Structures are given as C-alpha cells and as structure tokens.
C-alpha cells in the first residue's frame, strides 16, 4: 500500500475547517492557474508553504507543482519541516537508491497495521515482500477473475432492490440514476479482498468494520485508537481461523464451482521463513496490508476513471464499445488524477540535489502526483487522454517502464517499495469497470447532482484525492 499523500493530514484539517486561518489567504483560482505568491528579485515566482494547507491547493495543485518542478525541484518547506522532490526522473532515482533512500519514516503505519514491510528496508523488506507477492501476481491474479466478476454482477443486480428505496438508486421514465460510490465502488473492493483472502461470508459485515476503522486510524490521527482496537479485533478473529486453516485449507472457486487454488490466508498458513511457519501476528499484518492496498486505492480509481472518462465523450464512446480499453483508462486516470499522493523517505546521507543541501535523516516527500504531470515526460500533462502515445499502459512493472518515448505513471511508485496493492487495485478497477460498462446502457454524468467548480457551472476538478460521490444516469433496457 503506497503511503498517503504527503499533504494528507493538512488537507484533512482543511476539510474539517480547522486549518490555519492563513490558508484562507489563497484565493480559489481557475484550474491550471496559480495565485500570485510574490516574486524574487530576479523574477522567479515564490512558493509560500502555507498554500499546502489551503483549499486552493487541494482542488488545483498542478500549477503549484509546476512552479516547484521548474524553479524548486527539491523544495525545502520550513513550515512543515520537510523537503518535496517533484520531478519524475529525480523521484525515480530516489526510489531505486535503496541505500540512500531506503527508510520509510517509522510510525506512519506500524501502529495500526502491525509490523508490515512498509517500514522495513533492505534484505528484511525483500523477505517480507516475497511472502505475499506470490499471492498477488501471475496465476493467483487469474484465479481471482471469476470471483471479481461474480461479486460485481451481484452488486449491480442488487440495484433493482435499491431502486425501490429511491435513495442511491432510483428509476424514472426508463432512466436509472445511481450514485456509483455508495452503490458500488465503496464496498466492491472490500468485498473482493474479503473473498480472495478467504474470509467466510458471515464475516463480511465485520470485515467492513475492520477495514474502515484501520484505514481511518493510519498516520497517528485522532482516530488511531479506533484503528488499534479494530486491528486487535481482527487479530483475535484471524487467530482462530489460522489455526483451522493450518489443518484444513480453503479454496477459491470458478463460475462452475471448480476449485482454482487456495485462498490467500490458507497459502500464508503454509508459508515458512527460515524453516518456521508465519506467526498469527505476521499473517494478520500481511492481511491488513493487502486490505489497505486493495481497498481505498481501488475505490478512488474506479470513481476517478468514470468521472474523467465520461467528461470526454469521444474517448468514452470508444472505450464503451471496446472493453479491452479499460486498462488504458486505468493507467491514464492514475497518471492524471491518482488517489495516491506519494511516498515519504528519510535520506541515509547528506545529499545535494539541484543545489539544495538535504541533511541526512530529513523527511523527503516523493511527490508522485507531480511526477505524473512532469512536462519533461508527458506532453500537455493536464489533458486527460486515454490514447496518449507517451504513456505506457501495459503490465505493471516494479522496474517501471521507459522506452521509445513512453513512460509508466508513478502512482504506485517504482522499485523495491512499489505499492504491493498495485496489481490487485488494477485488476479490481478494470474488471469492475468492465462489468459496469456491460450493465449500464449509455451512461452519463448526472451534472445537476454533482459539485461545481468556483464558476458554479463547470464540474469540480478532482484535485488531490478522488471523487467522493458520482451520480450517473443510464438507460434501462
């Protein structure tokens, strides 16, 4: 699971309305245009770090990232006591330098998720990652496809019952209106992870509690106590299940009811390190990590994919006519508007980058969302284009991709710490969207029910994060 956006905590405070009053000094600008924060004697535009706490930055971050890339590629933020690395090539080099940037800041996840590989480095990180990596790629991915399709179809079929309630789904005059978030995207990835891991059906409601509470408690926030309680409750439940699975493993099944392989928990129960089986705590930590990596990231990706695609009719028409193109939609969405902000690092040694001295042990935020909009890599990066020729849209690679004028997006990072939930997020988002496209005829955004931008007319930009609600209309057969 990739670390949260480096500005996530200040943005959360902004959303609650208790951010520094000085953040209100930044007016809401037209998308793509930065407000004037002053200029140096030589005319270089200045960056006021208070802008990072503002609503303006949350909705319109890219012109500020552009200033940083062009003039302050390693920006020292004295207000928040950290450094921001914003260019694609610089971030790539840092991710692959496992000696110089091999430490993820401690405490950002271990308190709630347990002792996961997120905060480990070197050999220990590699050993832990290999524990479950085999369960998230290759044939294990293929074995999950029938489960994902079956869950997606089941959730969409349930819309007929929800339509009678008339809240998040309602029918009128041959047209169905649905809020995709609450009707599908919020729970779909959690249901998939629950099934793939091997939790029994009766644990589904409890699984939502564990997931929501642990995700809310990350990062030492005010809700950490609730997250810790949920984590302990999860471990108590898993302990009994692990003891049973060690003796009687359970399986995943295809559409015809044929077993296609053991579920993830059963596989973890038979995994050894240095001749010893994994402890219940180690298995629980791996479960918690997979839950986080395949949950919120997938929800945000699905919401952003549909929100952006349906605003571009020429592109959506081609995608809806050829469901193979959903992989391209996924990659371009995560390049253009990823729900993942970046990954923090501590540098092991004193370094100098672009003339900026960074003392050893500094907090350095690798801003993936800025790398994805680096004009040195992607032409006209603010333009959403599923068919752009400079974006690599093939199989996700830990090594990244840079060849023949095409580059992979940086939403999941690259290198040793590439987001372990990347593959499951990709699979869930694309398969879920394919099933949605089969079931919805002529889908379009219900504009009158969506938030507007500062002009009161245009749809609100995605900004940092993801769309929280998405109302669609589609024709009933």
DSSP string, 7-30: THHHHHHHHHT-S-GGGGGSPPPP
Residues 6+ apart with CB under 8 A from 338: 304, 368, 369, 372, 409, 411
Among 276-280, 393-397, 440-444, the minimum mean pLDDT is found in 276-280
pLDDT at position 112: 64
Mean pLDDT (whole number) for 165-186? 95
- Could you give the residue range(s) of every CATH 3.30.43.20 domain in the chain? 1-101+341-372
pTM: 0.87
pLDDT at position 18: 47
In the DSSP assignment, the letter for residue 363 is: E
* Greater pLDDT, 163 or 5: 163
**Residue 284 predicted with pLDDT over 80:** no
pLDDT at position 72: 97
- Could you give the residue range(s) of every CATH 1.10.630.10 domain in the chain? 102-340+373-408+411-475
**Residue 189 predicted with pLDDT over 80:** yes
Which CATH number does 102-340+373-408+411-475 carry? Answer: 1.10.630.10
Nearest to 405 by CA among 375, 372, 383, 377: 377
Count CB atoms within 10 A of the CB of residue 357: 11
Alpha helical stretches, state H, 27-104:
55-59, 62-71, 88-96
CATH 3.30.43.20 fits 1-101+341-372, yes or no: yes
**Residue 126 predicted with pLDDT over 90:** no
d(CA 383, CA 362): 34
pLDDT at position 205: 79
pLDDT at position 202: 80
């Amino acid at each position: 699971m990739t670390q949260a956006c480096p500005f996530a905590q200040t943005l959360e405070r902004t959303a609650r309305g208790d951010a520094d009053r000085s953040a209100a000094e930044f007016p809401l600008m037209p998308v793509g245009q930065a407000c004037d924060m002053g200029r140096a004697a030589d005319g270089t535009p200045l960056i006021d770090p208070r802008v990072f706490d503002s609503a303006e930055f949350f909705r319109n971050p890219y012109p500020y990232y552009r200033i940083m890339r062009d003039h302050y590629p390693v920006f020292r933020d004295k207000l928040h006591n950290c450094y921001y690395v914003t260019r694609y090539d610089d971030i790539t080099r840092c991710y692959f330098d496992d000696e110089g940037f091999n430490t993820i800041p401690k405490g950002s996840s271990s308190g709630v998720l347990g002792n996961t590989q997120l905060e480990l480095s070197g050999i220990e990180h590699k050993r832990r990652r290999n524990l479950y990596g085999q369960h998230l790629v290759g044939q294990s991915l293929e074995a999950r496809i029938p489960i994902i399709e079956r869950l997606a179809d089941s959730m969409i079929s349930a819309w007929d019952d929800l339509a009678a309630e008339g809240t998040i789904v309602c029918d009128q005059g041959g047209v169905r209106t649905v809020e995709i978030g609450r009707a599908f995207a919020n729970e779909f990835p959690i249901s998939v992870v629950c099934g793939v891991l091997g939790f029994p059906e009766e644990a589904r409601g409890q699984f939502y509690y564990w997931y929501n509470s642990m995700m809310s408690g990350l990062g030492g926030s005010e809700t950490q106590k609730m997250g810790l309680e949920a984590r302990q409750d999860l471990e108590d439940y898993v302990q009994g299940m692990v003891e049973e699975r060690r003796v009687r493993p359970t399986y995943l099944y295809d559409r015809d009811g044929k077993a296609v392989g053991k579920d993830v928990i059963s596989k973890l129960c038979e995994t050894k390190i240095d001749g010893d089986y994994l402890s219940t705590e180690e298995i629980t930590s791996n479960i918690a990590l997979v839950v986080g990596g395949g949950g919120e990231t997938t929800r945000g990706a699905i919401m952003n994919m549909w929100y952006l695609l349906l605003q571009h009719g020429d592109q959506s028409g081609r995608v809806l006519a050829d469901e193979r193109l959903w992989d391209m939609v996924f990659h371009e969405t995560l390049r253009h508007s990823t729900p993942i902000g970046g990954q923090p690092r501590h540098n092991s040694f004193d370094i100098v980058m672009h003339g900026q001295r960074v003392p050893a042990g500094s907090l350095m935020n690798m801003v993936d969302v800025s790398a994805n909009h680096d004009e040195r890599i992607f032409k006209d990066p603010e333009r959403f284009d599923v068919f752009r020729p400079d974006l690599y849209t093939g199989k996700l690679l830990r090594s990244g991709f840079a060849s023949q004028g095409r580059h992979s997006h940086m939403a999941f990072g690259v290198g040793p710490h590439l987001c372990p939930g990347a593959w499951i997020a990709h699979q869930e988002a694309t398969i879920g969207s394919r099933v949605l496209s089969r079931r919805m005829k002529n889908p379009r955004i219900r504009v009158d029910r969506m938030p507007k931008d500062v002009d009161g007319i245009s749809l609100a930009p995605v900004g940092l994060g993801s769309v929280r609600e998405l109302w669609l209309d589609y024709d009933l057969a």
